[in-house]
Amino acid sequence: MWKSKDVYYLSDSTGILATNLGQSLLCQFPETNFHEETFAFIRTPPEAEKVLAYILKNSAARRPIIFSTIMTEEVLKVFDTPEVEFFDAYDFYLKRLANCLEAKPLRVPGYSRRTDDVGMAKRAAAINFCLEHDDGTKIEELDEADVILLGVSRAGKTPVSVYLATQHGLKSANFPLTVEYLNQYRLPDGIRRNSRRVIGLTTSAELLHSVREKRYPDSKYAKMTTCIEEIQQAEQIYMKHHIPIIRTASKSIEEIATEVFQELGLSKKPINLNHNS
C-alpha cells in the first residue's frame, strides 16, 4: 500500500471541479497522505506539455495521480503516458451521453461558465445585498431578502449567507442573536414579519466553545456554560416563532445550504456563471 501519493488537479478552466472531485474520492483512503497541486486554464498542447514536464520532473518515480476536467482532445493526448495515473472526469460520461443523445459534444473549455447580463446582474445584486445585510445591519430592509439566517455569534451565519449569494444568486441576510434578544426570547419586527424566509442555525456547545476560545481565549463569551446557555435560548426562540432549525456542526457550507433550500422549498439552481470546471 502507498503511504503517500502526489496528486495533480488539471483543468482548462478554474480547476474547482477537478479538485472537488479528486478530494471527494481521495478522502476515502485516510491511510494515505496526498501531496496536491492544481493547474488551471490549460488550453493548448504547449501549456499541457509544460505541466506534464513539471509533473514528471517532480513525481515521475512516484507514479502520480492526475484528475482532469480538460475538454480539448488535443490537450488531453499530451497526458497519455504510462508514467502517470490519469483520471478523466468527463470522458466516460460524454461518450455515454453522445450515444444516448445521438449527438456530438462540443468539448469547449469552460462552456458552462458563460452567462448573460441577467445572470451576472443577479449575482452582483445578491452579493451586494449579502454584504450590506451582514450581521444584523439594515434590518429594516429585510423584506427584500430571499433568505434570513439567525444564530448566536460564531454559529456560521456569514459563510453560509455568502455562499447562497455567490453560488445561487440569493439575496441572503443574517442576524446575530445577541444577549439582548436571547434573554428576552424575542426577535425584531423585520424578522418576525418575514418569518417564512427565516432559518435558525444552531451548533454544538463544544464546537462553539472551541471557535470562540480561539478568538477570545479565557473570556466569558467563550466559556462552555455561556455557549450551552446561548444555544438553548436560541433554539427556544426558534421553536417559539416556528422557525426551521438547521444544525451546522460537522457539516460543510454546501450541506447547510442544501438544507436551507429544502426547509424553505426553494429551487436549488445555481446561476450559470458558477458551474465551475
Asked if 241 and 137 sit in the same domain, the reply is: yes
Asked if 87 and 197 sit in the same domain, the reply is: no
Say which CATH number the domain at 144 has.
3.40.50
Other CB atoms within 10 A of residue 7 CB? 22
User: What is the four-CA torsion angle of 224, 225, 229, 234, rounded to 10 degrees?
Assistant: -10
Distance, in Å, from the CA atom of 156 to the CA atom of 253, rounded to the nearest integer, reads: 9
38 phi and psi, to 5 degrees? Answer: -120, 135
Asked if 141 and 261 sit in the same domain, the reply is: yes
Q: What pLDDT shows up at residue 16?
A: 85
- Domain with 176, as residue range(s), is 117-274
Between helices 157-168 and 253-264, what is the axis angle to 10°?
Answer: 70
Give pLDDT tens digits for 146-176: 999 999 999 999 999 999 999 889 999 999 9
Asked if 253 and 134 sit in the same domain, the reply is: yes
Out of 85, 112, 139, a domain closes at 112
Strand segments, DSSP code E, in the chain are: 4-10, 33-39, 65-68, 85-88, 147-151, 172-176, 198-202, 245-247
Residue 277 reports pLDDT greater than 70: no
Q: What pLDDT shows up at residue 274?
A: 40
Asked if 92 and 127 sit in the same domain, the reply is: no
Kindly state the cell numbers that stand for 145.
Answer: 431578502
**In the chain, what percentage of residues exceed pLDDT 70?**
93
Out of 53, 83, 112, a domain closes at 112
Out of 80, 112, 144, a domain closes at 112
pLDDT bracket for residue 136 (50, 70, 90): very high
Residue 116 reports pLDDT greater than 60: no
Asked if 16 and 106 sit in the same domain, the reply is: yes
Asked if 166 and 81 sit in the same domain, the reply is: no
Asked if 164 and 182 sit in the same domain, the reply is: yes
Asked if 100 and 126 sit in the same domain, the reply is: no
The predicted model gives 179-191 an average pLDDT of 95
Q: Could you tell me if 273 and 9 are in contact, meaning their C-beta atoms sit under 8 angstroms apart? A: no
13 phi and psi, to 5 degrees? Answer: -130, -130
Asked if 143 and 94 sit in the same domain, the reply is: no
Residue 249 DSSP one-character state: T
This prediction has a pTM of 0.68
Q: What pLDDT shows up at residue 180?
A: 94
Asked if 143 and 89 sit in the same domain, the reply is: no
The predicted model gives 111-140 an average pLDDT of 82
pLDDT bracket for residue 275 (50, 70, 90): very low
Asked if 43 and 108 sit in the same domain, the reply is: yes
Number of structural domains the chain divides into: 2
User: DSSP letters along 52-118, please?
Assistant: HHHHHHHHGGG--EEEE----HHHHHTT--TTSEEEETTHHHHHHHHHHHTS-----TTGGG---HH
